[in-house]
Amino acid sequence: MRALSTAATGMMAQQLNVDVIANNIANMTTTGFKRQRAEFADLLYSAQARVGAGTSAEDTRAPTGIHIGSGVRAAGVYRVNEQGSLAQTSNRYDLAIEGRGYFRIQLPGGEEAYTRDGSFQVSESGELVTSEGYRVLPSITVPPQATDVMIGRTGQVQVKMPGETEPQTLGQLELSTFVNDAGLEAIGGNMLRQSAASGDAINGTPGEEGFGLLSQGFLESSNVSAVAEMTELIKGQRAYDLNSRVVKAADEMLQTSAMVR
């Protein structure tokens, strides 16, 4: 009974779908999180009668064939890189990206990672770091005697020093973009890693063509919609239930067939 295995693939596909939706809902309040969407593709077909096959000696041909599908498979889990809304925090080290781009972060092993989470702080030495203590690149060090820190829309970092009327420039923040953002590999901790599918990082200054702008004192919220996710969850649950009913119906048909024999 082909329906048994076909429906089983449908149940496994919807299980993956619900897993993705659950992760989206769990990260509704995660800074800079991008929702994901599961994509599926049908499996190979068994051709019992081919389209256009000859049906008589007069060269008549069948307008349709008989192709029986064998189910569904997961084609991928796609990251939807829509802009999240900005939430004001009034923290001078919090930064949100409006538009394309990622902050560059140096991991402990020297490898670079990328993130949309701009909830930065300063280390004991004054360096701008993530909440995990990882250095933001290019490195910015804030003097301990600074009275205020200003980060412009284009990433220029300035400080006010005691007794000085003009601000002092500390450095320039950069952003990175990729040809295929969806190809970045998620490694947890709001971090993404470059992969062969994403292409090499393209570094540039905020505000340049193809790069977003920065907003100091704001953080980007996740782009997860509670209403949309609940709708998708209900659809996934119903699809799973329908596939389980197919399994039950196929099993009952097999039992009937066995009794007849």
pLDDT tens profile 31-77: 999 999 999 999 988 877 777 777 677 777 777 778 888 899 999 99
Q: Kindly give the pairing relationship between strand 128-129 and strand 168-172.
A: unpaired
pTM: 0.86
Q: What Rg do the C-alpha atoms of the chain give, in angstroms? A: 27
Find the mean pLDDT for residues 169-175: 95
Residues 94 and 213 in one domain: yes
What six digits make up the tokens of 115? 């993130």
Find the mean pLDDT for residues 76-81: 93
Rounded distance between C-alpha atoms, residue 107 and residue 103, angstroms: 13
Residues 110 and 184 in one domain: yes
**What's the structural domain count of the chain?**
2
Query: Which pLDDT score, from 0 to 100, does residue 165 have?
Result: 84
Residues 137 and 21 in one domain: no
Q: Which residue has the tokens 């969806």?
A: 182
Query: Which pLDDT score, from 0 to 100, does residue 260 have?
Result: 65
Residues 70 and 184 in one domain: no
What six digits make up the tokens of 184? 């970045």
Query: Which range of residues forms the domain containing residue 153?
Result: 86-220
Residues 53 and 168 in one domain: no
Residues 130 and 199 in one domain: yes
pLDDT tens profile 91-104: 999 999 999 999 99
